[in-house]
Structure formats: structure tokens, C-alpha cells
Amino acid sequence: MAKDAEEHKKDAAYKQAKREGYRARSAFKLLDIQHRYSIFKRAFYILDLGSAPGSWLQIAKKYAEINLTKYVDKYYHRDHYKIMGVDTKKLSSLEDIKIVKMDFTTPEFLIEVEKFFEGEKLDLILSDASINKSGNKFSDQSRQTKLCFQILKLTKFLKFKGNFVIKIFQGADFDNFYTEMKQNFMVVKSLKPKSSNKKSNEIYLIGLKKK
């Protein structure tokens, strides 16, 4: 077993994730974001990009199910939820969740989204997607930001006042992307979750209330 893999399995968050039934420690990153910004409030139609191994889908399903009974009022409500997860990696199935194995930057994926959600706008888009790192901090940051700009285009599927979460790497291109986010959302927050590796330059941007 590789040294990194051994250290990962000794990690406290990894062990906690396994105890609580989550597929990966990344579940706690999303839970931290939810705790601070309530991104899942009235979220029934959810798209998760870069889903493998599926921990964010597990969280999404948990809150979607809660929302079915929590928000039965005169405001926005649905009697069902729809969740789609997409990744180029193989992803084990999850009950009541649509799993798509494909590249979400392709035109074909747009068709998949339209078909599954039947042309209706989404409440929440999540992205923990990441490039395959080369080890060159500067080129990796640039490539990740380029991917983020591609992902941002998918927010056209979001409803008015819908929410958005995306992972980006801090660096030279960060400010440009942050500015673009500000043009698309009424509120933009940044967060490095507690369970993120302290040495990592990853950070999450949370777009609240799409314009």
C-alpha cells in the first residue's frame, strides 16, 4: 500500500466517515458548508459534479429527504426530489439517485441534464470536481480554474435564487473567478472547511441566491 494511502486511512476524519457510513471524508466538507450557509434549504432538484466516490451524493439525499417533510407550506415545495451525480470514474449506485458516467464538460451532458430534470430549473449545484494534479502548483491552479469556469456555465440550469458550491485552488487566477461568481450570485462566500488538508490550496466558493 502506498504511503499516502496508509496515512489517509489513519486520518481521524477518514475513520469518522467510515463509522458514520459515508464513502469519504469529503462528506464533512459539505456538512461544514451546510452548517454555515444552509445551502440545502428547500433543495429538491440537485446536481453533483465530480461525484466519486459518492459522499456528497449521500449528503444531498439526506437533506432532500428531510426537505420533503420540513417544507410543507405555502412557499416553494415539492413532493419528490431528483438528484443526479456525474463523474468520469466508476461510481457505485445509490438508491433513488441518477448516476451518470461521462465528462460533464461535453455537450452530451447538457442533454442528460435536460432529460433527467425534464427541463426544470435546479435548486442546487455542487462541485467537488478536481483536475488530475501534476504536482506543479502553478499549472494545477490554472487548470483547476479553467475547469471551474466551465462548471460555472452549468449554473444556467439553476433557478433564480438557487445555490452553488464549487472547489477551486487559490492562486493567480482566483480573483478573476471570484469576480465572475459575484456577477452571477447575490452573495459569494469562501470557506476552507475544517476537514480540508491544511497544506492544500483548495478552497470552496459558495454562491448564494443566483441572480
Helices and strands (H and E) in the chain: how many: 7, 7
Which residue type occupies 136? N
Rounded-to-integer distance, Cα 171 and Cα 88, Å:
26
Q: Which three cell numbers stand for residue 113?
A: 441534464
DSSP state of 7: H
- DSSP assignment string, 18-74: HHTT-SSTTHHHHHHHHHHH-TTTT--EEEEES-TT-HHHHHHHHHHHHHHHHT-SS
Catalytic option among 159, 167, 192, 198: 167
Which residues, 6 or more positions from 11, have their beta carbon under 8 angstroms from its beta carbon? 25
Q: How do beta strands 82-87 and 45-49 pair?
A: parallel
Q: Is 195 helix (H, G, I), strand (E, B) or coil?
A: coil
Rounded-to-integer distance, Cα 126 and Cα 56, Å:
8
Active site (annotated) includes residue 159: no
Q: Which residues of 60-83 are buried (b: 16+ CB within 10 A; e: fewer)?
A: bbebbeebeeeeeeeeeebeebbb
Task: List residues with catalytic annotation.
Answer: 167
